[in-house]
Amino acid sequence: MDVVVVGAGTFGASLAWLLARAGERVTLVDQFEPGDRRATSGGETRLIRCSHGEDADYTAMARRARTLWRELEAESGAELMVECGVAWFAHGEDGWEAASQRAMEAQGIPCERLDVAEGARLFPSFRGDDLAFVLLEPEAGVVRAQRAVQALARQAAAHGATIIRGKAQPPSRGSDPLEVEVNPQPPSTGSDPLEVEVNPQPPSTGSDPLEVEGDVVVWACGGWLAGLFPGLVRLAVTRQELLFVDGGPAWAEPGVPGWVDYDHAMYGTADLDGLGVKAALDVEGPPLDPDAELHDAATTEPQVRAYLRTRFPALERAPLNEARACRYELSPDSHFIAAPHPEHDGVWLVGGGSGHGFKHGPAMAERLIAAVTGREPLPARFGLGQRVPARSMRTAGSGVRD
């Protein structure tokens, strides 16, 4: 099978890796270097966790993805996962966290319900008088996102995939949808070079478009997907912020878990790789065109500081190291998109990561391969039809409950 994958984020690069590893012929096209920060899969870290409320399917997929990330680490030699655990701050006895615990226990995934005093011992500074309990996933943690995407692309290339840096055009009326026109792009400046052969080599501007052809073409284009396929895909692309504060050495000790406050739409990590303690407001930000520049600014600092004061008092006045902007591409119900194009046989659309897609990349790719080869269909909820807004798989977002 010849497969063209457009988009080298977590979904596309994972697909390229698994297909190439299985001996298929793969061409992976991206307008940027894999891991570029303008893609949603750029940036240093992403949480990997199995908790998804009562949703058994995402729970199992996250667990499977963990195994595949480990395989990628073994294959590539890159250290991609930090198994520091993830702690969930439960405001009620029977909310998202209790449902997550039931779903994980049913699948034999380790998790522990801690009382608030036990939960407090996980962190250098903690206040939990508003909490019912803390749910700890000891085998969850953090994936080094940019490095992981680069490792996926590198390993895809090592298994024979061709990587092209170029901007692909969606099929136009009358053209063959399995022939993709690609306009070569100049080298991007937003990330380290991949250190694998990227075509055209050396990259140039103004070159003639390339034609790449496959039996299957997968468009895994993140925030660009809705613009490429208007009328088929609905996504809200929003500006989000990550804040990194200097918490001192205690927060850089191994074993301080990542954390999520689902109901209050906040999450973060300890100080990993010297970046500082990460804390982010997860309310959906203002709309941002996928091609617009990402301006780094700490507009959410007041809300983040207010949260730190109530949860991790020692961090309230911790100096701000950095604020980073990035994009979400949100489907209306926070479920992913993975479906065949309704008019073009062999063309598939994939995306809608909705702020929680990174971790799932390789496991989604595995399921997509099963669907494309007719072995197992994807869940109907990943389809292209109408979506009804639903409880978010990320945090409560702007639908904050208290």
Quote the crossing angle between the two packed helices 361-372 and 145-158, to the nearest 10°: 40
Cα distance between residue 260 and residue 195, in whole Å: 35
Which member of 220, 288, 364, 393 binds ligand FAD (CB under 6 A)? 220
Residue nearest to ligand FAD (CB): 353
Which member of 3, 6, 152, 272 binds ligand FAD (CB under 6 A)? 6
70 and 48 Cβ atoms separated by less than 8 Å: no
Tokens of 166: 């170029």
Q: At CA 226, angle to CA 221 and CA 229, rounded to 5?
A: 90
Cα distance between residue 58 and residue 244, in whole Å: 28
CB atoms within 10 A of CB 121: 9
Q: Does 12 bind ligand FAD (CB under 6 A)?
A: yes
* Sign, Cα dihedral of 67, 69, 70, 71: positive
Q: How far is the CB of 129 from ligand FAD (least distance, A)?
A: 26
Q: How far is the CB of 259 from ligand FAD (least distance, A)?
A: 11
Q: Does 10 bind ligand FAD (CB under 6 A)?
A: yes
Q: How far are the Cα atoms of 12, 116, 318 from residue 247, in angstroms, in the given order?
A: 35, 22, 6
Q: Does 9 bind ligand FAD (CB under 6 A)?
A: yes
Tokens of 117: 């005093």
Q: How far is the CB of 49 from ligand FAD (least distance, A)?
A: 8
Q: How far is the CB of 203 from ligand FAD (least distance, A)?
A: 13
Q: Does 119 bind ligand FAD (CB under 6 A)?
A: no
Cα distance between residue 12 and residue 32, in whole Å: 13
* Site string (279-318) toward ligand FAD, x via CB under 6 A: ----------------------------------------
Which CB, 326 or 371, lies closer to ligand FAD? 326
Among the residue ranges 39-47, 126-134, 206-214, 293-301, the one whose residues contact ligand FAD (CB under 6 A):
39-47
Among the residue ranges 20-28, 210-218, 221-229, 297-305, the one whose residues contact ligand FAD (CB under 6 A):
221-229
Tokens of 383: 């389809």
Binding residues vs ligand FAD (CB under 6 A):
6-12, 29-32, 39-41, 46-47, 167-168, 220-224, 228, 240, 242, 326-328, 351, 353, 355-359
